[in-house]
Chain A
Amino acid sequence: MQVPDVFEYERASSVDDAIALLEKHGDEARLIAGGHSLLPMMKLRLAVPEVLIDINDLEGLDHIRIDGDEIAIGAMVRHAALLESALLAEHYPIFADAERVIADPLVRNRGTIGGSFCQGDPAEDLASVGTALRGSAVIRSSAGERTVPIREFHQGPYETAVGDAEMLVELRFPIRTHIGSAYAKVERRVGDWAVAAAGAFVQLDGDQIADVGIGLTAVGADGFTCPEAEDLLRGGPATPERFADAAQLCHDLCAPVTDQRGPEDYKRHLARELTRRVLHRATARARGEES
């Protein structure tokens, strides 16, 4: 029987209340949303918070909407809602690609986008999606809000830009035109963490790549991405040869480690092959050739 160590339970009634509770209890307090990453870690005693602050009652954090020239997603949006969102399907099918292979439908009913980002697991699929899309994270404290690029949000395994007495409240993604996006993952069994995965968006200007973003999951890629591969593609033609060259850079520059999910060279192979595939699919979607 797996049981977490003892802790105090508090239930926040608003974002301000949650932040006040974080300030009151100090750095041994943790917010709990869906709990599907935190509770397993607490059962294994890898996480031993002294106080849990339940934020499931908070209102105003479950939106997926257009806000100016960005799509704004509240931190408490559940995985199931991301998977089913028509707005995201229209602008960024990469979300549904990724959500379809995150855990299972029951876990997706509980887990949240904010929780996924704040957990900061190196194998977290949404971290790569956010990195590929070059979104931003809105973090609130009692002093106000600040916005951090997602590419600066993850500072190491299980470490994020969210400080003590701060709360991630929203993720924002720029709306782009003439684009396609895609995510592909290899897992040992349905619902598992990735052996490796890749995500990308491609923005076309005719046959040229106007802009591109790449995200790499679970392969030790610095910042979940490969800027060298993006630089190689940007401004050039969208051809299979260039996709292969960019994918080779991802293969060469990532730093996977051999573990129970697979050997290092296999993960490099996957980083290359999955990057190639998502660049193809994102481009096909940008051209309207694939849904």
Chain B
Amino acid sequence: MQVTMTVNGDEVTRDVEPRMLLVHFIRDELGLTGTHWGCDTSNCGTCTLWVDGEAVKSCTVLAAMAGGRDVHTVEGVAQNGELDAVQQGFLEEHGLQCGFCTPGMIMTAKWLLERDPDPDEGTIREAISGNLCRCTGYENIVRAVRWAAEHPAGADEEVSA
């Protein structure tokens, strides 16, 4: 079947099987391998991306179900080669070690900050409770999200601060 959706602002069309999962559509059909593929059981959250503005686990959404919808992946986060505030926060606070969970963490953190620009630690921990980090880096991930909340303009603001 033919599926058309918008991914990071660009309309894409592919001929796929109805059973193709969105995570594989994004990675294998579009070559956007920033969205990682982990547990396959909607537990680990590394496949998190946005569909119509909501953060979802793309291993448990069919590509067909995303047809006609607006998808955003981690590749679309940086603008004009500049890291956004959440990405800069992960850099500043050493929010990653192996980096496998990082794309999902970033997409979830951005979703949280859209809804709550100044979340406290408990709110951040609740928001990322569906994203697993096996390097046990939660402390720094929480700090990274707080950094982004405190520096909404990202690196530009950090320089002037």
Q: Which residues of A contact B (CB under 8 A)?
A: 1-9, 11, 32, 35-36, 39-40, 43, 52, 54, 56, 103-107, 109-110, 190-191
Contact = CB atoms under 8 A, between A and B. Distances in A.
Contacts of A103: 42, 130
A190 B18 contact: no
Shortest Cβ-Cβ A-B pairs, 3 listed = A104-B130, A9-B18, A106-B130
Contacts of B1: 9
Interface stretch (B56-64, B82-90, B133-141, B150-158): B56-64
B65 A36 contact: no
Given A32-B65, A109-B56, A3 B19 contact: yes
Given A5-B19, A191-B130, A35 B61 contact: yes
A105 B129 contact: yes
A200 to B, nearest CB: 25
Interface of B: 1, 17-19, 21, 40-43, 45, 48, 54-57, 60-62, 64-65, 67, 108, 126-127, 129-131
Contacts, number: 78
A106 B41 contact: no
A54 B51 CA distance: 15
B127 A105 contact: yes
B42 A109 contact: no
Contacts of A4: 19
A54 B64 contact: yes
B61 A105 contact: no
A106 B19 contact: no
Q: Which of A5, A54, A109 has the most CB of B within 10 A?
A: A109
6 contacts: A2-B41, A36-B60, A105-B55, A105-B127, A109-B54, A110-B54
Nearest to B69: A56
Nearest to B61: A35
A107 B19 CA distance: 20
Contacts of A8: 18
Among B1, B43, B108, the most chain A Cβ lie within 10 Å of the Cβ of B43
Contacts of A5: 19
